[in-house]
Each structure stands twice: as C-alpha cells, then as structure tokens.
Chains A and B, each alone.
Chain A
Amino acid sequence: MWELIALNRKKSIFVFFLMMVLLILMGAALGYTVSFWIEASSPVKASIIGGIGAFFVWLILSFVSYTMGNDIVIRASRATQITRESYPRLYNIVEEMKIAAMLPAMPEIYIMNDDALNAFATGMHPEKSAIIVTSGLAEVLSRDELQGVVAHEMSHILNRDTAFLTFAGIMLGTITVMADIVLRGTFFASQNRRSKMSSKNNSGGGNIIILLLIVVFAILAPFFAKIFYLSISRKREYLADATAVRLTRYPEGLASALEKISSSTTPVFAANTITAPMYIASPAGSNIEKEDLGSTHPPIVNRIRILRALQNGGGASYRDYQQAYSKYIEKGFANLIPESGLKENKPVIIRDASKEDNNSSQKKTKRDINDLFIADSGYVSIPCSCGLEIKAPAKFGVTDIQCPRCGKILTVPSITARINKAAEKEEGKRSFSSDEVLQYHRMHPGKWESVLCKCGAQLQLSPLFKSQYLVCKSCKRKIEII
C-alpha cells in the first residue's frame, strides 16, 4: 500500500539526515579528544577535521549500505544460498509468492543453520531482495505454513520495511562503534592530561567540561539511537500479516506457522539487537511477549487470533483484517490499514487448504539440509558401496580413507586429481589416455549418478558436484560433466 511505502521512505530519509548529524558530531568529538592525546595545537581545528572526516565516512557508509546492505546482514547471519536445483520445494514456494506479489525479480533465498524456527527478509528495494529461513523452519513447517511465512516476509519487502530496517540497522551499528572509539579516545586524553599537569593549556577548566560533555554524548547517542530503532512501529508486523494473507488467500497457513514458531523456545543463535526487528517473531526465544518499549514484535497470540478470525469469517481482504483488528486488539476506531487498502471493495475469498504431498522426499530432512551447508563450505562427499556417505573437507591431506562401516579403502577425489597432475609432471611422461577427454551428460540432475569410464571403472557423481571435470581413478582420463 503506497501509504506504507511513503511512510518508510520518509523514515529512511529522516534516519539518513539524523545519522549525518550524529556522525559529524561524533567525528568532531573524536577530533577534539585526539588533539588532546597527541597534544596538537588547536583542538577546534582538529574537531573540524574530525567532522569533515565523519561526513565522508557517512557518505561511504550510505553508499555501502545501499548497494551491499543485503550481503552484510546475510553474512552476519551465516546463511547458505539455495537454488532451484538444490532445494526445489523451498524455491518453488518463494516463486509462487513472487508471482502472487508481482515482485519484479526473484528474491535470493538463504537457509540459516539453526534449529530455531524463524525467518527474515532484507532488501533495499524489491529488485534486489533476499529471504532467509532457518533450517529448523524449513524442516518442520508444512507447505501452506511455509507459504504463509514466505508471504509475510515478502510483504515486508513490498512495504519497504526491509529497506528501512537494513539501512537503519547499519547506521545504528556504526554509531555504536564510533561512540565506543570516542569513549576510548576520551579515556586516553584524560590520562594524558593528568600526567602533564604543567602543560601550557591555560583554558583547563573549559576543556574538562567539554570533555565531560563529549563523554556523556558518546554514552547517550547509541542509547537513543537504539531506543528510536526499537520503537519503530510494531504495527508493521500486523500490516505484513494483512498483506501476506491477501497474497496466500489462506490465513490458517500463517496462523498455524506462527503457532509452531511461538511454541518453540529456542533462540536464534546469530541474532542480535540490530537484526532482531527483522525476524518474523522475536528471536529471543520467549513466548510471552508484552507490548512494552523493549520488545520488537507484537504478541504472537494477537496475530494468531486475528488470522483465525479471518479464516472463520471467510474473507481475507484488508477490510476484513481491519475489522478483526479493531475487534480483538484496539477496540474503537484505530485505523491500522491505510486508506488505499480499505478502499478495495472486491471480496477476497479464502481458498481451500492445499493437499500436502505424501511426497515427503521433497521436504528435506535435517540430513539433507546439513548436506547443503556442508557442500557450501567446500566439503567433498565420498560414497562407499556399502551405502555410507563420507563427508571430508576438500583439503584433507590424504588420498585414501577407510570407510568406517565396511572397512573399504576409498580415494578422496579432489586430492587424487591434484596428486595425479603432480605425478604426471614429475615423471615427465603423460598417461596414455590423458589427451582423451570424455563427456558425460547428467541424466538426473539433483541426484547421485554412476559414471562408467571407458576403461570400465565406475565413478560416482554427486548432485552437488560443481567442477567441470571428473578424473577416472584407474586410467586418469578426464571426464567432462555437462
């Protein structure tokens, strides 16, 4: 709804300029304290230099957060990207919602290695966004529930909540760090002064007061910034629920997902104060939430109540949501949904539950999800003929390992290839068949395949094998994987 987008844009601009002012002041403060530390001649000149430096820092920071804001937040959460091939079910669910939301581009999809049930989204604008889901969530939720969660996150992207939070989050982080630096600088400065009592500085009293002011400022600034950040309207969660339900046409999906999320008390490991508001439910793991200053999300119970009311009432339009909200949450005329949403007069009919696949192989087990993480960190998967899959780090050091189950000796592929190349170079002569490059077309992408080499040896090809060539163990032929 355009009112929400406009509001978020205004808030972003406000934060933009507020941070500029704060950073410049911090820079000036830093310059001032540094001048004491190195006993420079003019503290005023130093503070001006500090202020100008901070201005440039702010420019660079704004640019960086606009272009790389997604990546910074995602990397802080240690997530692995998934593709259509590596996790089709999740990819398809996101693509379905992308079509329903008419998002201009497909968001990147990541999984966080965490048993907690949670999800969040980042993205400075809808063309470049990302949705992150914990592995716990992907394992446990049904298709309708996962769809509800994805729709909720996509609503945040549509309403530009993610843009604002990503930007404000990075700014807040910077302010906190700079405040810390200023405080340390002041500490050193005061120590310096004490050791040089007979310094030529004759405006001693005034300087101490200024230093004190700087200390107070450095302590308070991050505190106020944090309060501002956390007091961001919790209503955005209700609004995202309303938009999500309009996308999925099935409120019960999101309702039961929220129920599952709230009943699990595991906190999210990688979450901190800055990323907390971005999650779908409070990542602190408490299932008792009060609507106070410190909480980033409204009570889940309320959200579920509204959604269930919608499901029973049979309509999922914005008007229906507003009605349920006014009835159960804020009795009276408090308008949650802005005008443009309330104007929609076409009734939004709720669809039936989708039949869950008895197709549970597509729903990945914990082991399969772990395989995704392992593949990402460069591990190599070695299958033994007894059925056991051994995962070894790519830089393992030895060529042969013994299968712990059946005792068979297996070769570690990547090492073998490298050692063979080295051996070839040493001997100066090349293997008789090294000029011959065979080709193998993958017949079942996403699954294990057996590759028969010309010499008769059988090789196993992993679905996650990303290199171009496979080297045959016996004849050392190169096999190109297409």
Chain B
Amino acid sequence: MAMLLVMFAFILFVVLIVIIWGVAIYNTLVALRNRVKNGWSQIDVQLKRRHDLIPNLVETAKGYMQHEKETFIKVTEARAKAMGASSVKDASAAESELSGALAKLLLTVENYPELKANENFMALQEELTSTENKIAFARQSYNDETMFYNNKIEMFPSSIVAGMFNFKMADFFEIENKAEREAPKVSF
C-alpha cells in the first residue's frame, strides 16, 4: 500500500514539473512572438515617416530642378502606391519601388550644387537618410527576432508546446531592391 502511495506521489511530482516547464516555454514563445510583432510595427512606423517626409522634399527640390519633372512624378506616384497598398506583398513591392525612385532623385540632385547647399534641403536629406537607415535596421531587427522565434518553434522540445498552442512561424522580410540590383559592382 505504501509503495503505491509513493509511486503516485512520484508521478504527481513529475507531472507538476512537466506542467511548469510547459508554462515557461509557452510564456517564452508568447514573449518572442510579441517581439516579432513589435519589430514589424517598427518597420511600419519608419515607412510611414518616409511617406511624410517626401512631399516636403519634393517641394524644396522642385524650385531648383525645374526640368526633372519625370523624376518627381515617379517619386510621387510610387509614394501614392505605397500608401495605398493593402497586402503585405503589395506593400513591400511598392516600398522598394519608392526606394528606387528616391535613390534616382537623390542621384539627380548631385547635379544641382545650389540645391545641395540649401539649408532646408540638407536638413531634409539628413532626415531622409536617417529614415532609410532606420527602415534597414528595423528590417534587420525584425528578421533577427523572427529567426529566434522560428528557431524556438522548430526546435525540440519547445516544438511540442508550439504545436499544441498553434504558434505559427513568421515570415522574413526580404526587400527586393531593384535599384540596388541595378547598380554595377566594380571589382578589380
């Protein structure tokens, strides 16, 4: 009789340990998933900030670059497309198009030294460069967090808990920057 009691207590003990361990893993998964979500919203915030900066930039540059109408039109159109995009795929395609258009615009600015020397424009350019950097870093940290999260979901033993509570893997954010692709790489 005593043997049975001891066995019962032992099994109960093991079950408790498993439950506690399970709860810990569940909490970790939730925390990681929230970090991924946060990373995604960071990208969103920076993309929106870029949208807000562009009209000012275009207005300032237009005064000096009267004959570059197509460049401005491309930028404005790409911006409208990016702001109107609904699905993630459309958004990422539109955003990379916008990056390309902006890069072309800034390249053209190089030919206008008066514009380059304008105080207002320089401040805007700093903000734009910084926003592009922030988008890149937000993407970077989002991908890092996604990697941690996906690893945790895939690897044993946390994969058991992930399966039980239906944690889905997150997608990596890969931007296809056509402009970057087009730039020739010179090597010696």
With contact pairs A100-B141, A102-B141, A358-B116 given, residues A95 and B126 touching in the complex (Cβ less than 8 Å): no
Q: Complex formed: what's the CA distance from A99 to B45 in Å?
A: 11
Contact of A362 with B126 in the complex, beta carbons under 8 Å: yes
Is B92 positioned at the interface, with any CB of A under 8 Å from its CB? Answer: no
Interface residues of A toward B: which range? 20 to 34
Q: Complex formed: what's the CA distance from A247 to B120 in Å?
A: 31
Contact of A101 with B129 in the complex, beta carbons under 8 Å: no
Which of A96, A344, A357, A359 sits near B137, CB closer than 8 Å?
A: A96
Contact of B129 with A96 in the complex, beta carbons under 8 Å: no
* Chain B residues within 8 Å of chain A by Cβ, number: 23
Contact of A92 with B137 in the complex, beta carbons under 8 Å: no
Interface residues of A in 63-116 (CB under 8 A from B): 88-89, 92-93, 95-97, 99-102
Which of B35, B116, B126 sits near A88, CB closer than 8 Å?
A: B126
Secondary structure type dominating chain A contacts: loop
Q: Complex formed: what's the CA distance from A359 to B122 in Å?
A: 6
Closest-CB distance, A80 to chain B (whole angstroms): 21
Q: Complex formed: what's the CA distance from A74 to B148 in Å?
A: 35
Which of B42, B46, B140, B145 counts the most chain A CB atoms within 10 A?
B140
Contact of A361 with B134 in the complex, beta carbons under 8 Å: no
Q: What chain B residues lie within 8 Å of A102 (beta carbons)?
A: 35, 38-39, 42, 141, 145
Q: What chain A residues lie within 8 Å of B94 (beta carbons)?
A: none
Q: What chain B residues lie within 8 Å of A42 (beta carbons)?
A: none
Q: What chain A residues lie within 8 Å of B27 (beta carbons)?
A: none
| Interfacial residues, chain B to chain A (CB-CB below 8 A) | 35, 38-39, 42, 46, 116, 119-120, 122-123, 125-127, 129-130, 133-134, 137-138, 140-141, 145, 147
Identify 19 new A-B residue pairs, CB closer than 8 A, beyond the known A102-B35, A357-B129.
A88-B123, A88-B127, A89-B126, A92-B134, A96-B133, A96-B137, A99-B42, A99-B134, A99-B137, A99-B138, A102-B39, A102-B42, A102-B145, A247-B137, A344-B147, A357-B122, A359-B122, A359-B125, A362-B126
CB-based closest 8 A-B pairs: A92-B130, A100-B137, A362-B126, A99-B137, A96-B133, A359-B122, A102-B141, A99-B138
